[in-house]
Structure 1
Amino acid sequence: MGISIAVATAVLVSAGLWPQFITVQGEQPEQFVAGDSGRTLYVYDGDLGNMGGDDCVDTCLDVWPPLAAAADDVAVGDWKPVLRRDLRWQWSYKGRPVYHFTGDSSPGVANGGGSGGVWHALVYEGIAPKLTAPPAVAVKRRSVGFVLTDYRGQTLYTFAEDGEMPACNAECLEVWPPVRAAALATKLGDWTPVDRPDGIRQWAYSGRLVYTYSGDTGAQDMRGANAGGVWQIVRVESSPAAAIGSLTVGNSGASKVIEQ
């Protein structure tokens, strides 16, 4: 699955306390954070360290309208109203003024993401699924969504040519090291230890042997994705965004809690 520039360059928005009018549009991993119109929200690198948001002015604002706030709005979690130097109130996220893009004609799209290398769509980080897994396996958020990693944070992969017998052997294992299971390991949820013919005990997830990739040198790397058209990242679905309560917040009306 290809990942859009908008998602690859996005700023992730975590679950927590949000203003009531903020919504989530689209499907993972392209779930964009939006205003009440449903249009995607953005932040601008030119505003970094400048709460006045002065870097986007005049004709810039014709293309990138601010997410307007009212003078009597109050902060909600990481969302805060800020006063621009043109004396207009604007919502910010974690200190960064937030905008729309006039090139987005419908909800769930982010045509402005990555624009000029300085505009970034706000993407909902999602809620990590709760999985039963071996202690050495973790769930991490990447640009493609939530993926499985080993204890070092190295991305896990499956090999399409594996069948009843492993197809990755000998030199292949030097490039694609198997995720090893302990000698006394037993089945755990969707995880099963498999005794290979070469004597290696390897974990399988949902019936597929899992590997790391020697070309991944950093914990965020996914360089083995779709290698040769046969190596795939092990992805897991995020839990859906859900408001689990509301409370009155000053004159802003209400906030909502996105479950963590």
Structure 2
Amino acid sequence: MARALAASLATVAALLAATACAAQQPAGSVAAPAAGQIQLVDAPAKSAGLTGDGRADTPATASPAVSASAPVSAPVSASAKWVQLSVNKASIGETVTEVRGFTLYTFTKDDTDPPASQCTGDCATRWPPVLIQAGGRVFVDGLENPAVSAIRRPDGTVQVTLAGRPVYRFAGDTVPGEFNGQGVDGAWFAVKPDGTANDALIGTEVAEPAEPDRTATLTAATTADGAVVVDDDGATLYRSDADGTDPAVSRCDDACALLWRPVVATNGSTVKVDGIKQKRVWWMRRSDGTKQVTLDGSPLYRNAADRSTATIIASAAEQGWTAAR
């Protein structure tokens, strides 16, 4: 159930003014959006029947939007109707990601009292701010007592803040779960769930591979880009170009194994299929003894940070990952 933010968003009061007032502004000024209030929702976006990334959301009962013209690796500059903040366990500790699993960052040179962004122009191209429309909802997934608010940027757009700090993406992160922006210029750090900068550790810890994706059913889901195979959570599954298929061999280890979860049968049982021919599905034995599910001989994986529903990570193809169909 949505709950209004506890504190009034004084920093975005102008955004919440009536539209009639906006009409009286001088030429060239930024018009204030219609009256409304940013809402905080203690649940994933999919619980409200939303898919996509908030910029082109679609009810879950329809075909989710997948934009071929705006791959997820591109800097996000459009204001979203809704935003999701999720907790992700990375090798540098817990981080916060947006709905597609891309790491969010904080900029130590930003003002915090009152909150204000110092990243504009070319900086905002490299570090796209997380923007939301006035009246939009911020879904939180795994954050405890999230202090979510928003500020008005110099260009009039609304940027989401966490614990009073504006949050951003990094254009150099091309696959969900990466944190290539960590420590850049000694001023950019992945943001923790409590809103503070993850600046205690810039290097990468020795980390265990991502936990397997134990799913009971492989389902064919319809998207605007055709049918894809999803797991029990509705997340798109992928094949790796580096893997062998005859026989099936997984070559995803080391850094790869931190970002991609092998799909294995729940409790070692048989995986059911829905909308997929049974003869296409088999399995291979992994080194840890688990049975990884294969499709047409290709081992299947889920991106460890992906929290979206039936949405293709367009930039994954650049890294050798193809959505299973």
TM over 0.5: no
TM category (shorter chain) comes to 0.3 to 0.5
| TM-score (ref. length: structure 2) | 0.31
Q: Tell me which of the two structures has the higher relative contact order, counting C-alpha pairs closer than 8 angstroms and 6 or more residues apart.
A: 1
| TM-score (ref. length: structure 1) | 0.38
